[in-house]
Amino acid sequence: MNILFICHRFPFPPKRGGKIRPFHMIKHLSATHRVTVASLARSDEEAREGEGIAPHCAAYEMARVSNPVQVMRMAAHLPTTRPSSMGFFYSPSLARRIDSLLQSQKFDLIFVHCSSVAQYVEDVRGIPKILDFGDMDSQKWLEYAGHKPLPLSVGYRLEGAKMLRAEKRLAAKFDLCTATTRAEWETLNGYGVDVSGDWFPNGVDSAYFAPAEEPYDPDTICFLGRMDYYPNQQCMFDYCANVLPQIRACRPNVKLQIVGANPSPAVRRLADLPGVSVTGQVPDVRPYLHRAALSVAPLAIARGTQNKILEAMAAGVPVVTSKAAAGGVDAEADRHFLVASTPREHAEAALRILDHPAERQRLALAGRERMLSHHNWESSMQRLDKIIGRGLGLTL
């Protein structure tokens, strides 16, 4: 088949959440089909790195955009009924290139990852179309509204309501819709739209994120995640204020390493606290993971699957996570990872691992085994193939 694949972030290299899932879909589909990728690049560096997609697809269209212009497009949507997110991910250049591709080639399937770029092909007829929502973005914005002060909370609530209407409209315009987790799929089904499709999970490269042979530091905790992302910032502010002091009261030498790109000035100031370090972007997160006794994911706002959890568990590093973040992982609390709700529960769960090497070893082994059996890309792509076969009658 000849497949047009459209995604909101240029999917190479697959180093962040918005790129990992589409990259593995493209790689899988390209094994037996001709895939043309169309997406956006937001900097010279991203454009240069993005050229590495070439061995994994038949062709690609890369439209360059700049954040200041996209922010203006986003602002222009504020007085309209369309979500500002769609303005942020809209490029007239990409729209022209996609239209040209559709006019010059016969495509057998259009595959879109992320609702914010479904706008490019929502009105195309005569070609089977799949929309992989991944996460339901409307629910994320509505959750943000509960954590932001006025007037930002009003803005996020408005964006959430706009996106909810857009998700319902788009679901009705595509032949098949998918999501990352069962919970996200149930949310979509709850919209009252007749939707065909299912969910398939994110995987993790368990060979790349393999356990290390070197010993870990029994007093090191790590957090992985981009630090320009509000839910990551918010959870680290809370953890440093309310959880880490409880842990250090019992183990004064405990250190928290916050590992992730683009920390804001406020995040960088967390390094002034006892035991806290903020690395900024690092070339490879694995040495930080392997050195840690445990990895934490105490997010209050979390939609879909947190890849940081999958990566830590695959690397044989026990995880303590919030209930919100745990919902996107196909694993059982206490058996494969620990789940906590309050600051005290988070501190007690961390100390349970720090104080008991045997318990750490049990969770390390069980967590990795679960990633190998339930979060590997091969089985996830097989599930996708079955969903497409059932929904569209196409053989992939």
d(CA 46, CA 130): 26
* DSSP letters spanning 78-140: TTSSS-HHHHHT--HHHHHHHHHHHHHS--SEEEEESGGGGGGTTT--SS-EEEEEES-HHHH
- In this model, does residue 394 exceed pLDDT 90? no
State yes or no: pLDDT of 93 exceeds 80: yes
If pLDDT is split at 50, 70 and 90, which confidence band does 67 have?
very high
Q: What is the mean pLDDT of residues 101-118?
A: 98
Count of positions (residues) in the chain = 396
The CATH number corresponding to 220-374 among 3.40.50.2000, 3.60.20.10, 1.10.357.10, 3.30.460.10 equals 3.40.50.2000
pLDDT, tens digit (0-9, with 9 covering 90-100), for 332-372 = 999 999 999 999 999 999 999 999 999 999 999 999 999 99
Which residues lie across from 296 on neighbouring strands? 320
Bridge partners, residue 277, by sequence: 257
- pLDDT, residue 395, reads 80
Are the folds of 2-203+376-392 and 220-374 the same?
yes
Q: pLDDT averaged over the chain?
A: 97
User: pLDDT band at 396, cuts 50/70/90?
Assistant: confident
- Where does 2-203+376-392 sit in CATH, by number? 3.40.50.2000
Q: pLDDT by residue (tens digit) across 171-217?
A: 999 999 999 999 999 999 999 999 999 999 999 999 999 999 999 99
Q: How many CB atoms lie within 10 A of CB 59?
A: 14
* Token pair in block for residue 317: 């590093």
Q: In what order do the strands lie in the sheet containing 255-259?
A: 276-280, 255-259, 220-224, 294-297, 319-322, 338-340
Domain range annotation of the chain: 2-203+376-392, 220-374
Distance CA 317, CA 329 (A): 15
Tell me: the pLDDT tens digits for 254-302?
999 999 999 999 999 999 999 999 999 999 999 999 999 999 999 999 9
- DSSP state at residue 272: G
pLDDT band at 83 (very low <50, low <70, confident <90, very high): very high
**pLDDT tens track for 8-36:** 999 999 988 899 999 999 999 999 999 99
Q: Which residue has the tokens 């799949």?
A: 130
CB atoms closer than 10 angstroms to residue 389: 12
Separation of alpha carbons 49 and 55, rounded Å: 13
**pTM, full prediction:** 0.95
